[in-house]
Amino acid sequence: MKEKTPVTINAVVFDAYGTLYDIQSVAAVTEQAFPGYGDIITQIWRIKQLEYTWLRSLMRRYEDFSVVTRDSLAYTLRVLGLSYDATAFDRIMEKYLHLDLYPDASAALASLKGKKLAILSNGSSDMLNALVNNTGLDRVLNATISVDRKRVFKPAPEAYTLIEEILGARPDEVLFVSSNPWDACGAKSFGLNVAWIERVTPQAMAEACIKSDVVPPLTMFKALRTQMDELGVTPDHRIRALSELSGIVRQT
């Protein structure tokens, strides 16, 4: 039997929200706007935001991520019975253009110098370009790719085809990096090499539950959204930090 020829990783492509950027960093703004509700708002908002991307893809009623994000925030505030004005709403939305980078993100990207580096995100082009420019990643990325070009959200296979179309790298030459299990599964199913960042362990969630008779909203969110899904595919690499990526790339 002919041995499979090893393929060199020529491009490293990142998910944006939850992978390079800490979506939980919106909590400071939501707490300021609605004292005592900041945490629960961020969790419901993110859950509905993801659900709306999947539902719109299935319904073939695409709207870009800015619309999805506004609609899911409106849903969240309504179900929590919170009154708001346009100024408060827009101030919360604005934070999505200024999300905090994870502390190890810049150093990890610098360590991958020499490879094509890009973001592939469900974010709209306007949202992503503003976020990347505001955080200085425009200076290190070769491309910031939005699914707007295909009008369907990840994990639809069509979304991942944008990597080869824009970067010119075949799927087997790409390392795709995501902390979102559904995204990691989608990328692997498509044929990309995948590194999944397990930012939260089951042990950490168990400890959080033991400390209180009531499961905190953030712990519930982590149980629903941060552990690998049972979808019949598994990522190639399971890592805890972005700093581990340079070692993976060197081994290929």
3-state secondary structure of 201: coil
Number of Cβ within 10 Å of residue 244's Cβ equals 15
Q: Which of 58, 26, 24, 13 is nearest to 184 (CA)?
A: 13
Q: Which of 138, 139, 120, 118 is nearest to 129 (CA)?
A: 138
Q: Does 126 qualify as catalytic in the annotation? A: no
C-alpha 139/C-alpha 110 separation (Å) is 11
Dihedral, CA of residue 209, residue 215, residue 221 and residue 227, to nearest 10: 30
| The one catalytic residue among 15, 22, 64, 183 | 15
* Enzyme catalytic residues: 15
